[in-house]
Amino acid sequence: MSWPTPSASALDLLDEGDDPHFEGKLAIEAFDEAGGDDYDGEKVPVQLWVYSHWRENVFQDEIMTPSINLENDEVPISAITLQSMADIGYEVDVSRADDYELPDPAVPPPGALAKGDRAVFDLGNDVVWGPVTVLDADGRVIRVIPPPPGSVRWPPPGREVRIELPARAPQSGSTPPRSGRRSK
């Protein structure tokens, strides 16, 4: 998972300097709440040269890092990720975030293997620029978000990318999650 870099850049929420980081107020607050108060560096660090994923050596197995450890049963979606989406203009329900604390970077998570020794799914270059078709609960198109000017069309005509979200037990006062879908 990643957020669209042009959106973050256009909103002046991405610092691509020596210590690249996301500068959204809500994401920074969530980062601090997840244990980032004492982080020695810019808050909400992003992966060098990619800028659309969290820095893996800080976030480890959180969903928005550039690779997913296939040997890990759970890949948390943190409030940091959801709040970053809110910072760039998406409507989010932060109560749906998984419990997540930033790991101590000096201590690998239990059962962690060296990166070269584990099976990972690389999410590098995974950003789909659009168009994105938004569907309602009945599968009707309610909005089409066009791609940024000058971007390459993906998927190619006649193909679609389906994103199936895992079912979670609904929390009181919320609606159950639905499948998301991106189409041509």
pLDDT of 142-178, one tens digit each? 888 777 665 555 444 555 555 555 555 555 554 444 4
If one compares 57 and 50, the residue with the highest pLDDT of the two is 57
Classify domain 5-122 at the CATH class level: alpha beta
pTM of the entire structure?
A: 0.60
Residue 155: is the preceding peptide bond cis (ω within 30°)?
A: yes
Domain ranges in the chain are 5-122, 128-184
Q: Is 151 exposed, middle or buried (0-12, 13-18, 19+ CB in 10 A)?
A: middle
What is the band of 121 on the pLDDT scale with cuts at 50, 70, 90? low
Q: Which residues partner with 161 through β-bridges?
A: 182
Structure tokens at 92: 């989010």
Which pLDDT value is given to residue 41?
87
Q: What is the 3-state secondary structure (H, E, C) of the chain?
A: CCCCHHHHHHCCCEECCCCCEECCHHHHHHHHHHHHCCCCCCCCEECCCCCCCECHHHHCCCCCCCEEECCCCCCCCCHHHHHHHHHCCCCCCHHHCCCCCCCCCCCCCCCCCCHHHCCEEECCCCCCCCCEEEECCCCCEEEEECCCCCCCCCCCCCCCEEECCCCCCCCCCCCCCCCEEECC
Per-residue pLDDT tens over the stretch 66-117: 877 777 778 899 999 999 999 988 889 999 999 999 987 644 444 444 455 5
